[in-house]
Structure 1
Amino acid sequence: MKVLIAGGGTGGHLFPGIALAEEVVTRHHANEVVFVGTERGLEARVVPREGYPLELVKVQGLKGKGLFSLLKALVALPLAFIESFRILVRQKPDVVVGVGGYASGPVVLAAWLMGIPTAIQEQNALPGLTNKVLGKVVRVVFIAFEEARRFFPEKKVQLIGNPIRRKLMDNYLRSHVAHENFSVLVFGGSLGARGINQRMLEALDSLGDLKGDVRFVHQTGKNDLEMVRKGYADKGFQAEVVEFIDDMSSAYAKADLVVCRAGATTLAELTVCKKASILIPFPHATDDHQTVNARALVDAGAALMFQESELTGQKLAETLRTLKSQPERLKGMEKKAALLGRPEAAKELADVCVDLMVQTWGPSGRERATPEAKKAPRSES
């Protein structure tokens, strides 16, 4: 089976695609995965590092643009479609899966027009514009939150959760270590989050009596590294302050509580790793989708949520103090997080890809399909 995964731009779109790729290639030595993205997206750096081929298209977003940028993006679309058709003819995938982001639009639409079975994977509770459009033509829509179901044709929707990278899950299971102090993991995504960084430093002023009892691991992003590192040191707290955490599985394993944003992939990791959390949604996320994401965990009793504009250092300190003093409450939040976790999401998604391939091309895939299979209609689209 050969799967083409289109999209990316951010880790939230890309990493579920990486997780699907890992599942596909480990099933059989002959399976292949190729990615399609843009040179500006995170995929340009991550996909080659992970060992997968990457094709590039030139495409830009349409939503939230000024008039000039919008016109420029519209002019680029026909070229993006031509590039997409060429890539599909050259790669001959059995199935195309869009994971969101600019590149997924023209590639998935081109695949649909060519009769190649298509699917999309929507990570968030509120779908983005690209997936809303693609949901009308693809055969299957994978969602991670029940709230997303209403945006797509009901017969196409499958609620499977967000696929998690195999390495994170495997390492997490091996990384459990005993630790004496209450450990708090703080991060705001790969680039950090200034709002979280500042609130955390402000909270330390109200936690002085806990200096010997609490340990922090804090991913700051590049811009705030020295400021945050100095803040912990000046106030006498134990802290491992880094720009970026490479081994998130170990970081999760050591944490008693997590303070973070509410991106879809982060929430999937929290639930699979069974972690209690304080969620601070990114206030400028499109359609405020991180707040909707977070509410699913809050309503289940797995997390607490604060809007960044309303959160003070003192309020954060009070919440940390309260949760530290209530270990049974923390255990309850962990159990409820675990109930939301879907560690089999990548496997289930790959299973459906196999079904799509067999329905369209037969069990041997596109290259060996019979003439009858190659004429299969797009009635399910």
Structure 2
Amino acid sequence: MKFLIVCSSSGGHIYPGINFATYLKDHHYEVKFLGIKNQIEEKIIPQEELILCSLPKSFKKACYHPLVFFKEINFLNKIIEDFDVIVGFGGFISFAISLTPSLKKKKFYLHEANVDVGDANKFAINKAKYLFTSFKTTTLRKYQKKIKFVGNPTVDNLLINKKNRKYISFIFGSLGSKTLLDIVFEYLNKQNDQNEYLLITSKRYYNEYKNINKQNVKVIDYVEKNYLYSYSKLIFCRGGASTLSEIMNANVNCVCIPSPYVKHNHQFNNANYLFSHHALTLIEEKDFNFNKIEEAINAYQSECAKMELINQKSFYTSSPSLKMFLTIIND
């Protein structure tokens, strides 16, 4: 059985796809990825595993270039003929693949990382057998029978050792956030406490923030997830679905500052859902400042922080990739 993993343009789409593909390859299935030229998947996915198309990366751009769009639909139609199962992980490319005539002969599934279903998956679900979700409460009224909660495959490879948790860590996505980093940089330079801090800047901003003259502050440009979750006792982060799923599974106290620049406010909605269940602390970017950092760190020692860790356990998901695989095989 041959699998085609469809994901592009965002780590929130790509990393769940990579983890699911890893599970499939570990069980000796043939897997390829479908992405879009000049997007970040070219840097993340091995070239020999990646098929690239020239699709526009959004609905709006497709409307401006309809001839290119329909030419690429024909290309995609030929591509999927070689595969038995197609799994889309959201984004415009998942919608585009749903328009291919050859899809009628294939098993087609979708995965939604966010608490609210994105536009592409909303439009593509009528062609899919199931929409796998990361959150239990994700709904889509007309297609509720197709909704199947499995969790987010990004949690599959987490190997956490909770014995060494010492850092208060700051990480704001793979590209970083200058707005937030400026505020954190000011705080770290002025603090004079006994906490140990870890600032992950991203490669983009490392040179700008690397020179903090404090012995209790470590500045790096990148961190492996297993290290981050094993050595952090409190994490300040964005509200991407994969990040929050990993934090819930790793059972780490979290202060989430969602990006306000994400379509449909997905990050805020993800974080607000968990905040409403007392599983994390939520601060909107417009309210994030020196004092908010100090308040959040002081609150870390409180009973509320301990309750957050207890409440997080209700969001623990075991083996999302296995659940997806079993559904597909038995369907």
Range of TM-score over shorter length: over 0.9
User: Is the 8 Å Cα contact of residues 98 and 108 (structure 1) preserved in structure 2?
Assistant: no
Q: Mapping of 1:328-347 within 5 angstroms?
A: 328-347=303-322
Residue 145 of structure 1 corresponds to 135
Distance 1:278 1:123 in 2: 20
Distance 2:162 2:276 in 1: 28
In the comparison of the two structures, how many residue pairs are matched?
Answer: 331
Distance 1:286 1:157 in 2: 22
Matched residue type, 2:71: L
Identity %: 23
Residue 164 of structure 1 corresponds to 154
Distance 2:38 2:295 in 1: 41
Q: Mapping of 1:60-79 within 5 angstroms?
A: 60-63=56-59, 65=60, 69=61, 71-79=63-71
SS of the residue 1:100 aligns to: coil
User: Is the 8 Å Cα contact of residues 204 and 317 (structure 1) preserved in structure 2?
Assistant: no
Unaligned runs of 5+ in 2: none
Q: 2:76 aligns with which of 84, 93, 106?
A: 84
Matched residue type, 1:239: V
Q: CA deviation at 1:111?
A: 6.3
Q: Deviations over 1:158-209 (max 9, x none)?
A: 0111112544x1xx23x44436xx411211111111222122123336632x
Q: 1:197 aligns with which of 174, 181, 186?
A: 181
Distance 2:254 2:155 in 1: 20
Distance 2:243 2:179 in 1: 17
Q: CA deviation at 1:306?
A: 0.6
Q: 2:203 aligns with which of 218, 222, 227?
A: 222
Q: Deviations over 1:122-176 (max 9, x none)?
A: 1112222211100122111111124431355011110111112544x1xx23x44
Is the counterpart of residue 4 in structure 1 residue 4 in structure 2? yes
User: Is the 8 Å Cα contact of residues 207 and 317 (structure 1) preserved in structure 2?
Assistant: no
Residues 62 and 42 of structure 1, relative CA distance in 2, 3 Å threshold: closer
Q: Deviations over 1:196-232 (max 9, x none)?
A: 2122123336632x1xx211112112332133222x3
User: Is the 8 Å Cα contact of residues 98 and 127 (structure 2) preserved in structure 1?
Assistant: no
Matched residue type, 1:4: L
User: Is the 8 Å Cα contact of residues 87 and 108 (structure 2) preserved in structure 1?
Assistant: yes
Residue 207 of structure 1 corresponds to 191
> Following superposition, which runs of at least 4 residues in structure 1 exceed 4 angstroms of deviation?
none
Residue 120 of structure 2 corresponds to 130
Out of 302-311 and 213-222, give the one that drifted further.
Answer: 213-222
Q: CA deviation at 1:282?
A: 0.5
Q: 2:171 aligns with which of 187, 197, 204?
A: 187
Residue 178 of structure 1 corresponds to 164
Matched residue type, 2:3: V
* TM-score (ref. length: structure 1): 0.81
Distance 1:94 1:351 in 2: 15
Higher relative contact order (CA 8 A, sep 6+): 1
Q: Deviations over 1:275-324 (max 9, x none)?
A: 1100000010101110100012112211000110112111221211221x
Residues 238 and 100 of structure 1, relative CA distance in 2, 3 Å threshold: same
User: Is the 8 Å Cα contact of residues 199 and 218 (structure 2) preserved in structure 1?
Assistant: yes
Is the counterpart of residue 244 in structure 1 residue 217 in structure 2? no
Q: Mapping of 1:73-112 within 5 angstroms?
A: 73-89=65-81, 91=82, 93-110=83-100
User: Is the 8 Å Cα contact of residues 206 and 314 (structure 1) preserved in structure 2?
Assistant: no
User: Is the 8 Å Cα contact of residues 62 and 73 (structure 1) preserved in structure 2?
Assistant: no
Q: Deviations over 1:256-286 (max 9, x none)?
A: 0010000000011101111110000001010
User: Is the 8 Å Cα contact of residues 4 and 35 (structure 1) preserved in structure 2?
Assistant: yes
Q: CA deviation at 1:7?
A: 1.8
Q: 1:44 aligns with which of 36, 42, 45?
A: 42
Q: CA deviation at 1:6?
A: 0.8
Matched residue type, 2:225: M
User: Is the 8 Å Cα contact of residues 253 and 309 (structure 2) preserved in structure 1?
Assistant: yes
Q: Deviations over 1:345-373 (max 9, x none)?
A: 111011112123xxxxxxxxxxxxxxxxx
Q: CA deviation at 1:107?
A: 2.2
Residues 11 and 111 of structure 1, relative CA distance in 2, 3 Å threshold: farther
Higher-Rg structure is 1
Distance 1:279 1:87 in 2: 40
